[in-house]
Chain A
Amino acid sequence: MPVQYYIFLSIALFCIGVMGVLMRRNAIIIFMCIELMLNAVNLLMVAFSKMWADAGRVDASSAQLFVFFIMVVAAAEVAIGLAIITMVYRNTRSVDINILNRLKN
């Protein structure tokens, strides 16, 4: 398959992620949208890695290594992020991010 397909797919995923972060108020959905953006980038990296490997470049696997890094970081972020959201819910009985304005002042 041509690499353009992958690029379009990941742009679509990324834009969905951005829109979700901008428009939704539910913290968990925003969280999922962030994951979506991360994975759009992962997909793009793997696609380019494959493309260069087909073209005969020896060092093509480094992009795939980055993907693993991102996954590890994302996993750590999920652990912290979900914990925060849980705590927010416990305190406010809600996961609406506009309530977090109260942290101001």
Chain B
Amino acid sequence: MINLVWLVPFLPLLGFLVNGLGRRSLSKSLVGIVGSGAVLASFVISLLIFWEVKTPGFSAQVVHLFNFISVGSLQIPFAFQVDQLSALFLLIITGVGSLIHIYSTSYMHDESNESFARYFAYLNLFVFSMLILVLGANYVMMFIGWEGVGLCSYLLIGFWFKNIDYTNAAKKAFVMNRIGDLGFLIAIFFIITQFGTVTYPEVFSKAAALGMNNGVICIIALLLFVGATGKSAQIPLYTWLPDAMAGPTPVSALIHAATMVTAGIYMIARSNILYTLAPHVQTVIAIIGLATALFAASIALKQNDIKKVLAYSTVSQLGYMFLALGVGAYGAAVFHVMTHAFFKALLFLGSGSVIHAMGGEQDIRKMGGLKKFMPTTNWTFLVGCLAIAGIPGFSGFFSKDEILASAFAHNPVLYVLGLAGALMTAFYMFRLYYITFAGKFRGTHEQEHHLHESPAAITIPLVILAILSIVGGYVGLPEVFGKNLLAEYLAPVFAPSVPFAVAHHLSHGTEWLLMGISSALVIVFILLARQRFANYEDNGKESTGVAKVLENKWYVDEIYDAIIVKPLYELSRFFRDTIEKSGIDRLVNGIGRGVQWGGQKIRLVQSGQVGFYIFAMVIGMIVLFVIGFLL
């Protein structure tokens, strides 16, 4: 089965080609079947592969397809690496991906035939690129996938390209990602010069031989992390992700919550040995991750767009994953990637269902009381909120608890700040839930008349994801409850780091205490949110002070605009008006004018006097002879 792994990315590629080329002729149902079927088939194959990989004692296998680049001593094969980490990501991508494809068949049904097919073609291309990213057996293949998902993200954010704001959001996402990609690219160059190879096992064994705190490894780790901040929306490159909500909601669920934005976490988890060898870089990652988690959570507290709240929540949760990576808990980060994929996809799809029912309205102040109109969406959304808030028994609780416990073992300060972020998460998620679903309806009569539960193609994925959001956490039980299956399963991937890492161990008493504190406080904050927002009335007052700053996202976009975008515009204007006009243009025109002037003068030599010509010829010959003799 492992040898057939190439089918996993190939099928979505096929779907992309069929839908992309046949977009004018295929019917909507056929497009939906091809698009969803390709990803579903990939999911089945991934399941079979996973079955084989999860047997104990399985060691990573490389499926070599062909030689991609071969220059001098550098060999870059086009090969897929199947191991515990990539198999798990395969499951997440194709599993959540196929649910979202099925959901999209209903959600995008109002589009015209051609753009419906275009949408599915892009979505399949995205799944293909993402699979290349996680399956690639070397950094160059990861980079190919990395760029591919960036492109698809751009195409899908700007899917409704007639709206100039959406196109600008797409451009912003693309440019921000490019900044990070540059770091990744330079890191690859460093890896090639330092190790002479880009294949994972060779790079990792050569890196391990260099030992701790090697300067080059620190630089490589830091540059790779720069790439991760772009793709995974961390400070300072996070501002594109909230704007990326311009895309269709299923796209936000798939690309900007469940899969693409976790590429950075995948990359660091894959290169775990490089980071374990560079503890200072790890500290940087932990600090940036935590700062992002808190910063984004604080912004989410005051957002009124249902998708914006979820977007900032995604940024914040990604921050948690980076915190886990920073404290060396790679397994916990991957665990959170998985549970986050479930509950965040669920929340986004739920919000999509709400937006669909509201006829495109995204402002939660104009919703309210949707509980009785959309029962399925209501309870699945509630499950998602409970999971992300970290109520015991739901998946988010286990993964977040593992991250916070690792942070506590590393440094209690990280734990306290992380817990503060978790409490904010509980608060803003339930603020969102209560304003949207509780209370009474605040929209227009027309909208109220139109309210309805979404069709089965939308609710079935919601139910499946809700179930996964509940049970998904039980694969990674904390030690006090029993075996952590996921950690055991992933252990071979992180084994090379173990000899270099500082082992932390918490006593059972401490673990119980930490869990107790966080659960109790989370419940308190949920009750607070309930008290404040269960009967929310939109009083239309302008917020002031801190609330206003939060509502305006700490003015980060404005600050970036002032210190980067505006000066760049000024610089380009200077180049256009000054350098171009009086520099380059003058130079080019000057050359032309000089040639003309020279021609005017030299023309006079052609007098028509044959005697003069011969005289010139003889003089020329004499000069040539003299030169010939002298030299």
Show the binding face of A for B, using Cβ within 8 Å. Answer: 18, 21-22, 97-98, 100-101, 103-104
A97 touches B614 (CB 8 A): no
Instruction: Assess the A101–B608 pair: CB atoms within 8 A.
Output: yes
A-B contact list, 6 entries, CB within 8 Å? A22-B614, A22-B615, A22-B618, A97-B611, A100-B610, A101-B608
Scoring B residues 593 to 629 as 1 if CB is less than 8 Å from chain A, else 0, what string do you get? 0000000000000001111001100100000000000
Asked whether B618 lies within 8 Å of A97 as measured between CB atoms, the reply is no
The 6 closest A-B pairs by CB, nearest first: A104-B608, A22-B615, A101-B608, A21-B614, A18-B618, A22-B614
Q: Kindly list chain B residues whose C-beta atoms are within 8 Å of the C-beta of A22.
A: 611, 614-615, 618
| Bound form: Cα–Cα A68–B608 in Å | 34
Closest to A104 in B: B608
Across the interface, which residues of A come within 8 angstroms of B618, CB to CB?
A: 18, 22
Chain A residue numbers with a CB within 8 Å of B610 are 97, 100
| A26 CB to nearest chain B CB (Å) | 12
How near does chain B come to A92, taking the closest CB pair, in angstroms?
Answer: 15
List chain A residues, Cβ under 8 A from B609: 98, 101
Number of interface residues of B (CB under 8 A): 7
Residues on B with beta carbons closer than 8 Å to the beta carbon of A97: 610-611
Q: Which residues from chain A contact B615 at a C-beta distance below 8 Å?
A: 22
Nearest CB of A to B502, in Å: 94
Chain B: CB-nearest residue to A18: B618
Inter-chain CA distance A56–B266, complex, in Å, is 90
- Chain A residues with Cβ below 8 Å from B611 are 22, 97-98
List chain B residues, Cβ under 8 A from A104: 608
Residues in A whose Cβ lies below 8 Å from that of B614: 21-22
Residues of B within 8 A of A100 (CB): 610
Query: Which of B611, B614, B615, B618 has the most chain A CB atoms closer than 10 A to its own CB?
Result: B611
Which parts of B237-257 form the interface with A (CB within 8 Å)?
A: none
Distance to closest chain B CB from A1 (angstroms): 26
Question: Per-residue CB proximity of B131-175 to A under 8 Å, as 1/0?
Answer: 000000000000000000000000000000000000000000000
A103 proximity list for chain B (CB < 8 A)? 608
Q: Which residues of B contact A18 (CB under 8 A)?
A: 618
Tell me the smallest distance from the CB of B611 to a CB of chain A, in Å.
6
Compute how far the CA of A21 lies from the CA of B614 in the bound complex, rounded to whole angstroms: 8
CB distance from B280 to the nearest CB of A (A): 85
Interface residues of B in 552-608 (CB under 8 A from A): 608
Closest Cβ of chain A: how far from B257's Cβ, in Å? Answer: 83
Q: Which residue of B lies closest to A21 (CB)?
A: B614
In Å, the complex CA distance between A98 and B611 comes to 9
Name the distance in Å between B413's Cβ and chain A's nearest Cβ.
Answer: 97
Further 12 A-B residue pairs, CB within 8 A, beyond A18-B618, A22-B611, A98-B611: A21-B614, A22-B614, A22-B615, A22-B618, A97-B610, A97-B611, A98-B609, A100-B610, A101-B608, A101-B609, A103-B608, A104-B608
Residue of B with least CB distance to A101: B608
Cα A97 to Cα B614 in complex, Å, equals 13
Closest residue of chain B to A103 (Cβ to Cβ) is B608
User: How far is B610's CA from A101's CA once the two chains are assembled, in angstroms?
Assistant: 8
Q: How far is the CB of A33 from chain B (nearest CB, A)?
A: 11
Q: How far is the CA of A18 from the CA of B618 in the complex (A)?
A: 8
A77: min CB distance to chain B, Å: 16
Distance A100 CA – B615 CA, assembled complex (angstroms): 17
Complex: chain A residue closest to B611, CB-CB: A22
- Using CB atoms, name the residue of chain A closest to B610: A97
| Nearest Cβ on chain A to B419's Cβ, whole angstroms | 99
Chain A residue with minimal CB distance to B612? Answer: A22
Closest to A19 in B: B618
Give the Cβ gap from A103 to chain B, nearest Cβ, in Å: 8
Question: From B606, which residue of chain A is reached at the shortest CB distance?
Answer: A104
* A58: min CB distance to chain B, Å: 30
- CB closest residue in chain B, given A23: B611
Cα of A22 to Cα of B617 in the assembled complex, Å: 11
CA distance A103 to B609 in the complex (A): 11
Q: How far, in angstroms, from A18 to B611 measured CA to CA in the complex? A: 11
Question: Would you give the 0/1 interface string for B89-122, flagging 1 where the beta carbon is closer than 8 Å to chain A?
Answer: 0000000000000000000000000000000000
Chain B residues positioned under 8 Å from A98 (CB to CB): 609, 611
